[in-house]
C-alpha cells in the first residue's frame, strides 16, 4: 500500500487494518477496497490529502441527550417483544398483523407490561414476496402492507384458502401476498363508497407524505409492472430509462399506472392507520412506553429508497460485518452503503425522515447495529466479507438529529451494540441516554456470567434476540449445530463451541444460584432446559439495575425454532417460524402468566405513573 493511499484512507475515516478473531495480528485491508471507497466519496485515492484530518471524537455534547421517561428512574420497566409475523390467531391470514398487534398490546398491558416490541415493519417488495427479511427493506420510511388486517376493512371477504394458511408452521409469504393483495385490490375498488370523510383523510395523508410517499407508491406500481414484463422487482434489473425516477419514460408509465399508484398510496394509508390504532391501544392500557419499534441498519440496494434518491449509496459496496467467532468469514448483509458526504450535503434530512417515520407511532425505538452512528463495515461487490473495512460516519451530526427527535417525540432510544463495538462507544451511548442492549448470553467474563448488579442502568436487558436461539435452544446447542450444518464454521470450531457451551451451562446455573435467582439444584448435563432455570433467568434479569427488561415471547410460548440463522438466506427458513400458541390462548398460558407475575413482583409499576 502506498503512503499516499494510506494517508488518504486515514484522513477520510477508513480503517487500514483490523484484527480477525483468533489471529491476534492485524489483517491489512486490500488497497483495492480503500480505492473503491475513496472514489465513491469523490476522492482521488492516488493524491495525498492536504491539511490535517478532522478530529475524531466520541464526545457527546450536553444538548445531544435522548429522552428518558423520569418514571423509569425510580421504577424500572419491563415489556415483551416478538416477531409480528409469527403471531397465530383464529382470525389472521397465516401471518401476524396489526389487529393481532393491537390485541397483544391489550394482553401485555393487562399484565402491566410497559412496552411491546416487534421486528422492523418497513416496506419490503410486494412484487417479490420471496424477499422476506425485515432487515433488508425496500424503504424504511414506509410500512409493509402484508401486516394490514384485511378482515378489519369494510367489505372484506375471507377466501377459503386462508384455512390452510392458518394451520401452517411456517409463514407462506408467497400465498399470503397473493391472497392479501387480491383481497385489498377488491376492497380498494369500492373505495369511492367510503364517504367524504374517509376520502378527505386519505387525501390529507397523501399530501403530508409529499414526494417521498408518491415516489414509493410509484416504485411499487412500476415494480409490479416490471415483474409482469419478465424483469425483477428491484430497479437494478429494469431497462435503463426506468432506473431514473425523473425520466420521461417513468413519467409516461406513471400516467398509465395512475390507478395502481393510488392503490399503493392507499395501502400505506391503511397500514399507517392500523399501526396507529395499535399504538393508541398501548396508551389506553397505561403502558409507560407503548409500542417499541425496530429500525433496520440499512436498505436494499435495488429498492424504493435508493431508486427514489432518498438514500444516496456508495457504488459497488454493501454493508456487512468483519469476521468473528460466529461467522469466521465475516458477513455481507447485502445492504446499500450510505454516502456520508451525500448525507451531509442534504443536512442529514434522509436520516431525520427515517427516524421520524418510526417515532410517529413508537414510544421506543431499537436501532439495529447502532455502531453505524460511528462507523460502517463496507464490502466491495463480488469480494469476500473479509476484504471489507470500516468507514467513519458523521457521528456528531447523526447523534444530534437522533437526540432532538427522541426528545420531540418523547421516545426512548435503544442501541443494539453487539458484535464489534469500538472502544469508548458504549460510554458515548450512555452519555447520550441511548440504552445499551444487554443479552444474557453475552454478559460474561473469564470468570463466568456477570452478576445481575454488574449490568448498567442505561440498558435493556433480555435473554436473547432474533439472531439467537431461545433459552431452551441455547441450552441444547441448536445454534451451534445449525452453524456447523450450514458451513458457517468449520468442524473443529464447532467442536470448540460445543465444549464451551457445556461449560456455559454450568456457569449459568452457578450465576443464577449465586445471585439468588435459582433456589433449587439442577444438572448442567440435563438434555433439555429445566423449567425452573427459565424462570430463574427472567428473575435474574428483572433484578438488574437496567431501566428496561424485555421478555422474548418465543421463550414463553414458542416458536422454539430459531427466527434467523445469520449468514444464511434460503438454506434455513429465516423469518418464517410461527408460534404454536394462539393469541386467544396467550393470557391464560401458564408460562406467560408465571413470568408476567414474576415481572410485576420484581418491577412493580408505580400507581398512576406517567412518562
- Work out the pLDDT band at 25, boundaries 50, 70, 90: confident
Q: How many CB atoms within 10 Å of residue 256?
A: 11
Question: What pLDDT digit, counting tens, does each position of 209-242 carry?
Answer: 999 999 999 999 999 999 999 999 999 999 999 9
The whole-number pLDDT of residue 246 equals 96
| DSSP for residue 233 | S
Mean pLDDT value across the chain: 95
Q: Which residues of 510-535 are buried (b: 16+ CB within 10 A; e: fewer)?
A: ebbeebebbeeebebeeeebbebbbb
Instruction: Count CA atoms closer than 13 A to 113's CA, side-chain side.
Output: 29
Instruction: Count CA atoms closer than 13 A to 178's CA, side-chain side.
Output: 10
DSSP reduced 3-state for 445 = strand
Label residue 444 exposed, middle or buried (CB < 10 Å: 0-12, 13-18, 19+).
middle
Q: Which residues of 263-297 are buried (b: 16+ CB within 10 A; e: fewer)?
A: bbbbbbbbbbebbebbbebbeebbbbbbbbbbbbb
Q: Which residue is associated with the grid cell 464526545?
A: 59
The whole-number pLDDT of residue 567 equals 83
The whole-number pLDDT of residue 27 equals 86
CA distance 406 to 413: 7
* Structural domains present in the chain: 1-56 (no CATH), 57-602 (3.20.20.80)
CA distance 398 to 373: 6
Contact predicate 210/142, CB 8 Å = no
Question: What pLDDT digit, counting tens, does each position of 41-83 carry?
Answer: 999 998 888 766 666 789 998 889 999 999 998 899 999 999 9
Residues in the chain: 611
φ/ψ bin of 531: left (φ > 0), alpha (ψ from -120 to 50), beta (otherwise): alpha
The whole-number pLDDT of residue 22 equals 62
Range picked from 192-206, 321-335, 380-394 for highest mean pLDDT: 380-394
| CA angle (293 as vertex; 292, 298 as ends), nearest 5 | 150
DSSP string, 481-542: HHHHHTTSS-HHHHHHHHHHHHHHHHHHHHHHHHTTS--S---TT-SS--HHHHHHHHHHHH
Reply yes or no on whether the pLDDT at 611 is more than 60.
Answer: no
Q: What percent of the chain has pLDDT over 70?
A: 97
Q: Which residues of 220-252 are buried (b: 16+ CB within 10 A; e: fewer)?
A: bbbbbbbbeeebebbbeebeeebeebeeeebee
Question: What pLDDT digit, counting tens, does each position of 117-167 carry?
Answer: 999 999 999 999 999 999 999 999 999 999 999 999 999 999 999 999 999
- Determine if the pTM surpasses 0.85: yes
CA distance 153 to 147: 13
DSSP reduced 3-state for 569 = coil
Q: Which residue is associated with the grid cell 409469504?
A: 173
- Mean pLDDT confidence for 556-571: 94
The whole-number pLDDT of residue 382 equals 95
Q: Give the Å distances, CA to CA, from 359 to 17, 252, 276, 466, 582.
A: 37, 36, 11, 22, 29
CA 135 centroid distance within chain:
5
Question: What pLDDT digit, counting tens, does each position of 375-423 carry?
Answer: 999 999 999 999 999 999 999 999 999 999 999 999 999 999 998 899 9
The whole-number pLDDT of residue 1 equals 74
CA 242 centroid distance within chain:
30
- Mean pLDDT confidence for 442-452: 97
Which residue, 244, 354, 380, is CA-closest to 299?
A: 354
Residue 452 neighbours by CB under 8 Å, 6+ apart = 515, 517, 540, 541, 543, 544
The whole-number pLDDT of residue 21 equals 63
The whole-number pLDDT of residue 26 equals 85
Q: Give the Å distances, CA to CA, from 23 to 15, 18, 325, 378, 423.
A: 18, 10, 11, 21, 19
Reply yes or no on whether the pLDDT at 543 is more than 60.
Answer: yes
The whole-number pLDDT of residue 54 equals 63
Alpha helices by DSSP H, 229-257? 248-256
- Work out the pLDDT band at 12, boundaries 50, 70, 90: very high
Q: How many CB atoms within 10 Å of residue 41?
A: 18
Q: Which residue is associated with the grid cell 442529514?
A: 348
The values of phi and psi at residue 543, to 5°, are -90, 0
Reply yes or no on whether the pLDDT at 425 is more than 60.
Answer: yes
Amino acid at each position: 500500500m502506498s503512503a499516499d493511499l494510506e494517508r488518504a484512507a486515514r484522513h477520510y475515516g477508513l480503517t487500514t487494518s483490523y484484527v480477525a478473531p483468533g489471529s491476534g495480528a492485524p489483517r491489512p485491508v486490500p488497497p483495492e477496497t480503500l480505492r473503491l471507497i475513496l472514489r465513491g466519496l469523490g476522492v482521488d485515492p492516488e493524491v495525498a490529502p492536504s491539511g490535517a484530518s478532522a478530529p475524531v471524537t466520541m464526545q457527546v455534547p450536553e444538548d445531544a441527550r435522548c429522552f428518558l421517561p423520569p418514571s423509569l428512574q425510580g421504577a424500572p420497566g419491563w415489556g415483551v417483544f416478538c416477531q409480528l409475523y409469527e403471531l397465530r390467531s383464529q382470525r389472521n391470514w397465516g401471518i401476524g398483523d396489526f389487529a393481532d398487534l393491537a390485541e397483544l398490546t391489550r394482553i401485555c398491558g393487562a399484565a402491566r407490561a410497559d412496552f411491546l416490541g416487534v421486528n422492523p415493519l418497513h416496506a419490503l417488495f410486494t412484487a417479490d414476496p420471496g424477499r422476506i427479511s425485515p432487515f433488508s427493506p425496500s424503504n424504511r420510511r414506509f410500512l409493509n402492507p402484508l401486516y394490514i388486517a384485511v378482515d378489519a376493512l369494510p367489505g372484506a371477504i375471507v377466501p377459503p384458502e386462508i384455512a390452510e394458511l392458518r394451520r401452517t408452521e411456517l409463514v407462506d409469504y408467497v400465498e399470503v401476498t397473493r391472497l392479501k393483495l387480491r383481497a385489498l385490490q377488491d376492497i380498494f375498488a369500492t373505495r369511492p363508497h367510503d364517504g367524504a370523510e374517509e376520502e378527505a383523510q386519505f387525501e390529507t395523508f397523501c399530501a403530508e407524505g409529499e414526494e417521498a410517499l408518491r415516489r414509493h407508491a410509484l416504485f411499487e406500481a412500476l415494480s409490479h409492472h416490471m415483474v409482469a414484463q419478465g424483469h425483477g422487482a428491484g430497479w437494478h434489473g429494469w431497462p435503463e430509462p426506468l432506473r431514473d425516477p425523473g425520466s420521461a419514460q417513468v413519467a409516461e408509465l406513471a400516467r398509465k399506472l395512475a390507478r395502481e399508484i393510488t392503490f399503493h398510496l392507499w395501502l400505506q394509508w391503511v397500514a399507517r392507520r392500523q399501526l396507529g390504532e395499535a399504538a393508541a391501544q398501548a396508551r389506553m392500557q397505561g403502558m409507560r412506553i407503548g409500542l417499541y419499534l425496530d429500525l433496520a441498519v440499512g436498505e436494499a440496494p435495488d429498492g424504493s429508497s435508493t431508486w427514489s434518491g432518498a438514500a444516496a449509496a456508495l457504488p459497488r459496496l454493501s454493508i456487512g460485518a468483519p469476521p468473528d467467532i460466529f461467522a469466521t468469514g465475516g458477513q455481507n448483509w447485502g445492504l446499500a452503503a450510505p454516502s456520508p458526504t451525500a448525507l451531509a450535503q442534504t443536512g442529514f434530512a434522509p436520516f431525520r425522515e427515517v427516524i421520524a417515520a418510526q417515532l410517529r407511532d413508537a414510544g421506543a425505538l431499537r436501532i439495529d447495529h447502532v455502531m453505524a452512528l460511528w462507523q460502517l463495515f463496507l464490502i466491495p461487490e463480488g469480494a469476500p466479507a473479509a476484504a471489507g473495512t470500516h468507514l467513519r460516519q458523521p457521528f456528531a451530526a447523526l447523534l444530534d438529529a437522533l437526540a432532538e427527535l427522541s426528545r420531540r417525540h418523547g421516545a426512548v432510544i435503544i442501541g443494539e451494540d453487539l458484535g464489534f463495538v469500538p472502544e469508548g462507544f458504549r460510554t458515548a451511548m450512555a452519555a447520550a441516554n441511548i440504552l445499551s442492549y444487554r443479552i444474557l448470553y453475552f454478559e460474561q467474563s473469564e470468570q463466568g456470567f456477570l452478576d445481575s448488579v454488574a449490568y448498567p442502568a442505561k440498558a435493556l436487558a433480555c435473554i436473547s434476540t432474533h439472531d439467537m436461539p431461545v433459552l431452551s435452544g441455547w441450552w441444547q446447542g441448536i445454534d451451534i449445530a445449525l452453524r456447523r450444518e450450514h458451513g458457517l464454521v468449520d468442524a473443529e470450531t464447532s467442536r470448540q463451541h460445543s465444549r464451551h457451551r457445556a461449560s456455559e451451562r454450568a456457569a449459568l446455573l452457578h450465576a443464577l444460584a449465586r445471585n439468588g435467582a435459582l433456589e433449587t439444584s439442577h444438572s448442567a448435563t440435563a438434555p433439555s432446559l429445566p423449567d425452573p432455570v427459565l424462570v430463574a433467568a427472567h428473575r435474574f434479569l428483572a433484578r438488574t439495575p437496567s431501566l428496561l427488561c424485555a421478555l422474548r415471547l418465543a421463550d414463553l410460548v414458542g416458536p422454539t425454532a430459531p427466527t434467523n440463522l445469520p449468514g444464511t438466506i434460503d438454506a434455513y427458513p429465516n423469518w418464517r417460524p410461527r408460534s404454536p400458541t394462539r393469541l386467544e390462548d396467550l393470557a391464560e398460558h401458564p408460562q406467560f402468566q408465571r413470568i408476567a407475575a414474576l415481572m410485576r413482583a420484581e418491577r412493580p409499576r408505580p400507581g398512576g405513573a406517567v412518562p
